[in-house]
């Protein structure tokens, strides 16, 4: 048994069958983290897991393989995760502005979470993550999809809740 897979086994749940049908793109410049994330996804039931080691490779994989979900690292050479997300979310510039994106990064600051979500991430996961947290985010995307709305120049997922007037004033 693959040592990266062993130890992540979780009991099967009905929504794991939904995960089986997903094509998931893992984008991270760290080979070890890509392999670890792939192992978790395989143990959650994913049959099709693609990998990209940088932002340019990610954009090419989206164009050619049409993934259902992308797990995206923020800090990468060539194009970082935020640049990739801005390109993907640009109307007319990229063929999949509605691609669900989970930002998977070691940036733990609240401002990083806010910035990623405002730039178009559906979900945010902090590294190292657990199989359960990954499952929860995938489940959220599969069973509670949020429509995309145009915000300025980009498409972003509709917020889970509407911001208060005070919150809107703070961001203006």
Domain range annotation of the chain:
16-171
Contact of 111 with 125, CB cutoff 8 Å: no
| Sign of the dihedral defined by the CA atoms of residues 81, 82, 85, 86, in that order | negative
Q: What is the pTM of this model?
A: 0.81
CB neighbours (10 Å) of residue 10?
Answer: 14
What is the chain's mean pLDDT, rounded?
84
Q: What homologous superfamily is domain 16-171 in, according to CATH?
A: Response regulator (3.40.50.2300)
Q: Which of 14-28, 47-61, 66-80, 84-98 has the lowest mean pLDDT?
A: 14-28
Strand 101-105 with 69-72, pairing? parallel
Q: What was the pLDDT predicted at 49? A: 97
Contacts of 146-149 with C-beta under 8 Å, sequence gap 24+, read 146/122, 148/97, 148/98
* pLDDT greater at residue 83 or residue 149: 83
Give tens-digit pLDDT for 111-124: 999 999 888 899 99
Residue 1 pLDDT > 50 = no
């Amino acid at each position: 048994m693959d040592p990266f897979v062993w130890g992540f086994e979780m009991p099967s749940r009905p929504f794991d069958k939904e995960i089986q049908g997903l094509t998931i793109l893992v984008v991270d410049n760290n080979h070890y983290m890509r392999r670890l994330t792939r192992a978790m996804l395989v143990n959650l039931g994913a049959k099709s897991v693609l990998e990209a080691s940088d932002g340019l490779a990610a954009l090419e994989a989206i164009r050619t393989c049409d993934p259902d979900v992308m797990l995206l690292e923020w800090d990468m050479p060539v194009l970082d995760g935020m640049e990739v997300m801005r390109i993907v979310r640009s109307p007319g510039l990229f063929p999949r502005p509605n691609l669900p994106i989970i930002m998977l990064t070691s940036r733990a600051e609240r401002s990083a979470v806010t910035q990623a979500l405002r730039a178009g991430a559906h979900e945010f996961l902090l590294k190292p993550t657990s199989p359960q947290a990954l499952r929860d985010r995938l489940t959220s995307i599969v069973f509670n999809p949020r429509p995309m709305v145009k915000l300025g120049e980009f498409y972003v997922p509709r917020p889970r809740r509407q911001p208060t007037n005070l919150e809107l004033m703070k961001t203006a």
